[in-house]
Amino acid sequence: MTISAESSTVEVAASSNFIRNIVQEDLASGKHSTIVTRFPPEPNGYLHIGHAKSICLNFGLARDFGGCCHLRFDDTNPAKEEKEYIDSIKGSVKWLGFDWGEHLYHASDYFEQLYLWAEGLIRQGNAYVDDLTAEEMRAYRGTLTEPGKESPFRDRSVEENLELFHRMRSGEFPDGSRVLRARIDMASPNMNLRDPVMYRIVHEPHPHTGATWCVYPMYDYAHGQSDSIEGVTHSICTLEFEDHRPLYDWFLDRIGAYHPRQYEFARLNLTYTVMSKRKLLQLVREGDVTGWDDPRMPTLDGLRRRGYTPQSIRNFCEQIGVGRNDSWIEMSILEESVRADLNVAAPRAMAVLRPLRLIVENYPEELAEEFTAPNHPQRPELGERSIPFCRELYIEQDDFQEIPVKGFKRLSPGSEVRLRYAFIIRCSGVEKDASGVITAVRCSYDRDTQAGGPEAGRKVKGVIHWVSARHGVPAQVRLYDRLITVPNPAGDEWKSLLNPDSVELLPDAVIEPALASAQPEERFQFERQGYFCADLRESTPGRPVFNRTVTLRDSRAK
């Protein structure tokens, strides 16, 4: 009963996507005969749902227009980058259902070329080695309203600059002692053009180039040229890079290299969570979550463990569209997307999360029988399973009320309910321990009310799920809630807005026997309780651990 992305059937109508329109026009007009896009992560953290938007956009365009999409690691900062991140990023892109084929690249593959281009810029008088300290550079930079000040090292000769830059490369100087800067305009209203740093000294091994380099290009010096080297036709990035585009163009003009055209789109913000890798890393480091793949995290590995299907995430990205206005997307839209997918795909099962013993007084002690239930109400091809029944069952604690509130339709003394797929029962009383806590509910059953029986059609108000106490299998179940208590956490106070009840452990759950052999990542609908996924890391057949992916309905919707 394993559910793969391919078995899911929900497809979502495409929303507006202005970049798709541009690509279509470029192909129609013959500006490009084929397109090249890329997804360019910095390997300094795990991918999150925001990255999924970019992945679906870039890989989706290449897929739909017969082009190709590169996976390129923009790995310019060895201090923050690790192999663990590289591996998880590749895994996440594949899991989402995309394939870069042979087109796996690293900005660090281009370090030699970038270095040669930097020498060229020095020769043109367009770059210089600066000895100002980081603090001085900040002070010289000016503000949005005041121009910056030129560095006293700005007018070094080409020869001196070349010599110093070579010595930077050969490792003669300590970290932070010198940088290479572009010589542009300290008075530019665009701060990115105020002589931005191109190279810094970092004596640290790099996950891809090892100890080859001790000078590393800044992201802004590497990114545009990497796209140019790869022949990217549509260089797609988020809006915050709009102000960097003039800088990328400045470099490419002076180097004389091919200009990819850059298009910016609005990044995804999702309510009730945080998304920046810096914040996610902080949650991991400070132990607020169990790791990058904690099922509460908005990372792709977290969503995967939570039970999200790749299809549901692709559908979500399709549905929210691609535009240029920054906005927040409701978490409930993401949840609805996985609900729609799992409603079609997930087999049904019964599990009692907070068990209460139910004793069927008139059912013989030694007897046991089996009922047959469809695995999916609308999909007979998913087959059937048998569910054992005996004298002692478990039902949910909250399906019983000793003194029922007005309108309570489930079990209370004297009332009748149907046990799903089995009989109608009538409650005859309760058992309590010395302190008055209910330890069991007693009832009698009516055999005529089973399917096919003379009174099968008799209507009662409530139908509840149950598991045989003798045949049921213990399981650990975890219910999840929002990570953050407010919809739009902003600024630095987000850490104080963490939801203290974002996970609830239910150690005593009991599941029907057919669920006991669940494979990791197998997904089910537990009737009346939501969609659940056997945990990728901790669940094993025979010792199942289930994470609730999402409730059956949006209980918060008005």
CB of 266 to ligand ATP, least distance (A): 8
User: If binding is defined by CB under 6 A, does position 534 make contact with ligand ATP?
Assistant: no
CB of 238 to ligand ATP, least distance (A): 4
Helical spans, DSSP H, in 124-244:
134-140, 158-169, 219-229
User: If binding is defined by CB under 6 A, does position 245 make contact with ligand ATP?
Assistant: no
Closest to 267 in 3D by CA, of 55, 50, 22, 47: 50
User: If binding is defined by CB under 6 A, does position 107 make contact with ligand ATP?
Assistant: no
Residue nearest to ligand ATP (CB): 50
**Annotated active-site residue in 156, 194, 245, 277:** 277
Nearer Cβ to ligand ATP (201/237): 237
For 353-387, give one letter per residue: b (16+ CB within 10 A) or e: bebbebbbeebeeeeeeebebebbeeeeebeebeb
What pairs with residue 54 in β-bridges?
none
User: If binding is defined by CB under 6 A, does position 476 make contact with ligand ATP?
Assistant: no
User: If binding is defined by CB under 6 A, does position 106 make contact with ligand ATP?
Assistant: no
User: If binding is defined by CB under 6 A, does position 271 make contact with ligand ATP?
Assistant: no
Q: Is 413 exposed, middle or buried (0-12, 13-18, 19+ CB in 10 A)?
A: middle
Nearer Cβ to ligand ATP (54/525): 54
User: If binding is defined by CB under 6 A, does position 238 make contact with ligand ATP?
Assistant: yes
Whether residue 95 contacts residue 219, with contact meaning beta carbons closer than 8 Å, is answered with no
User: If binding is defined by CB under 6 A, does position 69 make contact with ligand ATP?
Assistant: no
User: If binding is defined by CB under 6 A, does position 533 make contact with ligand ATP?
Assistant: no
Work out which of 8, 17, 37, 54 binds ligand ATP, going by CB under 6 A.
54
Footprint on residues 435-454 left by ligand ATP (CB under 6 A): none
CB of 40 to ligand ATP, least distance (A): 5
Rounded to whole angstroms, the Cα distance separating 312 from 4 reads 12
Active site residue 240: no
Nearer Cβ to ligand ATP (263/408): 263
What pairs with residue 210 in β-bridges?
206
Rounded to whole angstroms, the Cα distance separating 8 from 396 reads 30
Rounded to whole angstroms, the Cα distance separating 50 from 53 reads 5
494 by DSSP, 3-state: which? helix
Footprint on residues 21-50 left by ligand ATP (CB under 6 A): 40-42, 50
Nearer Cβ to ligand ATP (209/238): 238
CB of 72 to ligand ATP, least distance (A): 10
User: If binding is defined by CB under 6 A, does position 268 make contact with ligand ATP?
Assistant: yes
User: If binding is defined by CB under 6 A, does position 237 make contact with ligand ATP?
Assistant: yes
**Annotated active-site residue in 20, 267, 279, 528:** 267
Q: Where are the beta strands (DSSP E) in 172-295?
A: 179-182, 197-201, 215-217, 234-238, 261-265, 268-270
# residues contacting ligand ATP (CB under 6 A): 14
Nearer Cβ to ligand ATP (126/238): 238
Rounded to whole angstroms, the Cα distance separating 282 from 222 reads 27
CB of 45 to ligand ATP, least distance (A): 6
Active site residue 354: no
Rounded to whole angstroms, the Cα distance separating 463 from 415 reads 12
Give the DSSP H or E segment for 464.
Answer: strand 462-464
Each residue 165-204 as x (binds ligand ATP by CB under 6 A) or -, in order, gives: ----------------------------------------
Active site residue 277: yes
- The Cα angle at residue 432 between residues 429 and 435, in degrees rounded to 5: 150
Looking from the CA of 443 toward its CB, the CA atoms found within 13 Å total: 30
Neighbours of 326 (CB within 10 A): 12
Binding site for ligand ATP (CB under 6 A): 40-42, 50-51, 53-54, 237-238, 267-268, 275-277
Which active-site residues does the annotation give? 42, 267, 277
